[in-house]
Amino acid sequence: MGNNVSVAGLANEFQVSQSEIIELKRIYKENCGKSRFLSREKFRNVYNKVFPGDASAFADIMFNKFDTDKNGRVDMREFIVGLLMSDTKNLDQKIKFAFEMYDIDKSGTISRDEVIEISEAYSRMYNTEDGTTVADRLFSYMDKNSDDEISFEEFDEAARSNSEILNLLFPKPPEHA
pTM for this predicted structure: 0.84
d(CA 129, CA 101): 22
Closest CA to 65 of 89, 88, 40: 40
d(CA 40, CA 107): 23
pLDDT at 177: 46
pLDDT at 13: 85
Helix (H, G, I), strand (E, B) or coil at 110: strand
pLDDT along the chain (177 residues), means of 10: 76 88 91 90 92 93 94 94 85 91 95 94 88 92 96 96 84 64
pLDDT at 168: 78
Quick one: residue 137, left, alpha or beta (phi over 0 = left, psi -120 to 50 = alpha)?
A: alpha
